Amino acid sequence: MAFLRGFMGAKQIMRRSVSDSSSTPKGFMAVYVGRNLKKRYLVPVSYLNEPSFQALLRKSEEEFGFDHPMGGLTIPCDESLFFTVTSRIR
Q: What is the pLDDT of residue 63?
A: 80
- List the chain domain ranges: 2-87
Residue 6 has pLDDT above 60, yes or no: no
Quick: pLDDT tens for 29-52. Answer: 889 999 888 899 999 999 999 999
Distance CA 23, CA 65 (A): 25
Distance CA 58, CA 48 (A): 11
Band of pLDDT at residue 2, cut at 50, 70 and 90:
very low
* Strands lying side by side in the sheet with 39-44: 15-16, 39-44, 28-33, 73-75
Residue 65 has pLDDT above 90, yes or no: no
Band of pLDDT at residue 61, cut at 50, 70 and 90:
confident
